[in-house]
């Protein structure tokens, strides 16, 4: 089976057994890119025991300190959430999510973020996402173990693999790859610098301006060429401001 360019990113996992459970779920479904962001305890015998034969997934797991490192080079970032979020981001179920992941992985790297066992992903981490995935559960008991959540999406990805997705008639085929997560961070930093210099953003009272701009551009799924255009416009604004001050 062909290598699938998707990273399962576990953020600050508290219990090493959950890391092992996630590795086992991935191995079952022929996935192999596990990234651990600042895990509380790893490597650990409990993780190896729970992996139950998926030792190679654990041995090859990338351990990083920040989400930024985990997302380096990714063109699509999907955050998981256990409850509805009013974040103005498209929210998919696991099957819809698997379809998007399969489609995008043909063009670039995809990351799926799984948050902490007790509190999930922070707002800042969700700011990095283009889409959200939520697994439907019983209203009477909605708590889902981290390993089980990984298993649900891994299964849906397995079902999608080997199936050629048919594009609806009239669907636009993307000419350029999506901008990577680090390119998007460069854009947001550039925007913030310019709107502070123009006086639009007060750094002492920023309110929610940058968060709303992040969500706007993340929803838009900006491609590599578009981000170059936007950065060029911002650079032009900077240059014109400099000339104006020198007149």
**In sequence order, what are the residues at sequence separation of 6 or more whose Cβ sits closer than 8 angstroms to the Cβ of residue 98?**
153, 156, 157, 159, 160
* Total of domains in the chain: 2
Q: What is the DSSP string of 180-204?
A: PHHHHHHHHHHHHHHHHHTTSS-TT
User: Residue 138: exposed, middle, or buried by beta-carbon count in 10 A (0-12, 13-18, 19+)?
Assistant: exposed
Residues 222 and 233: beta-carbon distance below 8 Å:
no
Report the CATH number at residue 38.
3.40.1280.10
**Domain assignment present for 86:** yes
Of 160, 195, 210, the one marking the end of a domain is: 160
Report the CATH number at residue 185.
1.10.8.590
User: Which two structure tokens, joined as six digits, stand for 147?
Assistant: 């390993």
Residues 11 and 66: beta-carbon distance below 8 Å:
no
Distance (Å, rounded) from C-alpha 87 to C-alpha 129? 10
Of 108, 131, 160, the one marking the end of a domain is: 160
Distance (Å, rounded) from C-alpha 15 to C-alpha 47? 8
* Per-position pLDDT tens, the chain of length 247: 457 899 999 999 999 999 999 999 999 999 999 999 999 999 999 999 999 999 999 999 999 999 999 999 999 999 998 877 666 788 999 999 999 999 999 889 999 999 999 999 999 999 999 999 999 998 888 778 999 999 999 999 999 986 544 445 445 556 788 999 999 999 999 999 999 999 999 988 888 899 999 999 998 889 989 999 999 999 999 888 766 666 5
Longest CA span, the chain: 71
Q: Give yes or no: residues 31 and 139 share one domain.
A: yes
Domain range for residue 48? 6-160
User: For 72-107, how does the pLDDT look when each residue is reduced to its tens digit (9 = 90+)?
Assistant: 999 999 999 887 766 678 899 999 999 999 999 988
């Amino acid at each position: 089976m062909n290598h699938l360019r998707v990273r399962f990113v576990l953020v600050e996992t508290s219990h090493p057994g959950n890391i092992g459970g996630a590795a086992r779920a991935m191995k079952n479904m022929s996935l192999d890119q596990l990234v651990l962001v600042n895990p509380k305890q790893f490597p650990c015998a409990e993780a190896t025991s729970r992996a139950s034969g998926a030792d190679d997934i654990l041995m090859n797991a990338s351990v990083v300190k920040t989400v930024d490192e985990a997302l380096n080079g990714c063109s699509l970032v999907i955050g998981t959430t256990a409850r509805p979020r009013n974040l103005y981001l498209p929210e998919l179920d696991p099957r819809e999510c698997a379809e998007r992941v399969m489609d995008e992985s043909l063009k670039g790297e995809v990351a799926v973020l799984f948050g902490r066992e007790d509190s999930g992903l922070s707002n800042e981490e969700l700011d990095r996402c283009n889409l959200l995935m939520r697994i439907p559960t019983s209203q009477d008991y909605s708590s889902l173990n981290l390993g089980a959540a990984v298993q649900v999406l891994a299964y849906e990805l397995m079902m999608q693999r080997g199936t050629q997705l048919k594009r609806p008639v009239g669907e636009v085929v993307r000419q350029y790859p999506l901008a990577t997560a680090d390119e998007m961070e460069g854009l947001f930093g550039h925007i913030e610098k310019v709107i502070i210099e123009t006086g639009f953003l007060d750094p002492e009272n920023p309110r929610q301006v940058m968060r709303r701009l992040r969500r706007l551009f993340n929803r838009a799924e900006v491609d590599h060429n578009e981000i170059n255009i936007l950065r060029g416009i911002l650079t032009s604004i900077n240059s014109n401001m400099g000339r104006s001050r020198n007149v």
